[in-house]
Amino acid sequence: MILSLAILLMLGFILGKLFSYLKIPNVLGMLLAGIIMGPYILNFLSSDLLNISQEIRSLALIIILLKAGLGLKIKVLKKVGPVSLKLGLLPCVFEGAAVLIMGIWLLNFSLAEAGMLGFILAAVSPAIVIPGILDLKKKGYGEDKNISTILLAGTSLDDVFAITIFTVFLGLGIGGSVNVFYEMGKIPINIILGTIGGFVLGFVISKIYMNKGIILNNLEKLLILLTLAYIYYKFGEYIGIASLLGVMTMGIVILDKCVETAKKTSINLTKVWFFAQIALFTLVGAEVNISIVLESGFFGVAIILIGLIARSLGVWVATLGTNLNYKEKLFCIVAYLPKATVQAAIGAIPLASGVEGGEVILAIAVLAILITAPIGAFGIKLGAPKLLNKVKLMDN
């Protein structure tokens, strides 16, 4: 397992550097490395590594969410909160509903099958969006209107809504007894509980950091933060709350309570992220089954594109009444296109659960990754200089 992981990381690094040299986002090189090394082409990766792939990807996602939280100030979040909430809800609902309708019409899916497909595709990828947005935030793009903060907060909410609604349709599809109104009513409760848990844990960690009787160096502080964040994430998964949103909240609270420690921790997380991002994107690539992608054909592409149009409309509606101009709204639309993390994580669940259309659902989920991840990565990197104002950042 260690050998295949080492070679996977090295190939991901090499292809990532090559793509960067060619002015192509490096994450695409990492995805390609995973596809090549994965079980559907060279089949080089050990089964043990593939078995724990989801856990490794989860840890990488936690690292980037913590880093995002450590860059978000509470006073700014209060200002952009309503917009982020709309961005977390409307694009997801618009895309999910559009794909649901197309699934019934073009694929002859049942309501449950079409709903599963709709809300698998409706989740934006934090693994693509957050690193790109953090890089732009560091460079000052869009900071005059806090666009990075709006998008970072909205991305986490988007995934919460998509995954929760997906589970409702999954329950309907496998013949379980599901109270739709009850499940939908749980969404805001799960968001609130997840956020509160993250706030409390962030407050506790900040107290440990500031306790003069406990002498900790920066690496020890990082160890405490990563360990507790991962435990909280797994606990949240077990009881069904929005623990990923809570993980980001931990970073926000730590930044508010101990600024200098937060800055140093963020720097250390950046170093860890260098390795984690290669593992994340190569292992996502390893999930891609090219043969299944080809089977989804024209209808799969058409459904994905219609869903993206609906998502774009949802972003536009969510930003109405804000101070964003049309170029900034267009950037938000582009930044909210990519799929990867959630689709790789849950795309195979309907098939594994015995849903009749499960194989087609998986094929379209994988195809969505291949189509939208490059568009999103390119769009964020190349679109920002043309669509956003760049401001000179000052340390507070």
Per-residue pLDDT, 121? 95
225-240 average pLDDT score = 91
DSSP state, 212?
T
Per-residue pLDDT, 212? 82
Going along the chain from its start, the domains and CATH numbers come out as 54-387 (1.20.1530.20)
Percent of all residues in the chain with a pLDDT value above 70, rounded to a whole number: 97
Per-residue pLDDT, 179? 66
Cα 390 to Cα 130, 142, 221, 362, 393, distances in angstroms: 18, 6, 33, 40, 9
Question: How many C-beta neighbours within 10 Å does residue 33 have?
Answer: 25
How many angstroms from the chain centroid is the CA of residue 88?
Answer: 12
Per-residue pLDDT, 176? 59
Per-residue pLDDT, 78? 83
Type of residue found at 235:
F
Per-residue pLDDT, 42? 92
pLDDT in tens, 249-273: 999 999 999 989 999 998 999 899 8
Which DSSP string corresponds to 55-97?
HHHHHHHHHHHHHHHTT--HHHHHHHHHHHHHHHHHHHHHHHH
Question: How many C-beta neighbours within 10 Å does residue 359 have?
Answer: 16
Q: How many CA atoms lie within 13 A of 141 on its CB side?
A: 20
Q: What angle do CA 202, 228, 80 make, to 5 degrees?
A: 35
Could you tell me the pLDDT band of residue 151, with boundaries at 50, 70 and 90?
Answer: very high
pLDDT in tens, 107-129: 999 999 999 999 999 999 887 88
Q: How many CA atoms lie within 13 A of 331 on its CB side?
A: 24
Better pLDDT: 75 or 101: 101
- pLDDT averaged over every residue in the chain: 88
269-290 average pLDDT score = 86
What stretches of 203-357 adopt beta strand conformation (E)?
none
Per-residue pLDDT, 175? 64
DSSP state, 388?
S
Per-residue pLDDT, 286? 85
Contact 168, 122 (CB under 8 A): no
Per-residue pLDDT, 394? 58
Percent of all residues in the chain with a pLDDT value above 90, rounded to a whole number: 44
pLDDT in tens, 293-344: 777 778 999 999 999 999 999 999 999 999 999 999 999 999 999 988 788 7
Contact 135, 71 (CB under 8 A): no
Per-residue pLDDT, 207? 93
- Has residue 375 got a pLDDT over 60? yes
Highest mean pLDDT among 29-38, 79-88, 223-232: 223-232
- Has residue 290 got a pLDDT over 60? yes
Better pLDDT: 295 or 286: 286
Which DSSP string corresponds to 220-264?
HHHHHHHHHHHHHHHHHHHHT--HHHHHHHHHHHHHHH-HHHHHH
Better pLDDT: 276 or 290: 276
Per-residue pLDDT, 395? 53
Per-residue pLDDT, 157? 84
Per-residue pLDDT, 343? 85
Distance CA 267, CA 263 (A): 6
Per-residue pLDDT, 352? 77
Beta pairing partners, 345: none
Q: Hey, what are 393's tokens?
A: 């950042």
**Collapsing DSSP states into helix, strand and coil, what is residue 390?**
strand
Contact 26, 70 (CB under 8 A): no
Per-residue pLDDT, 230? 94
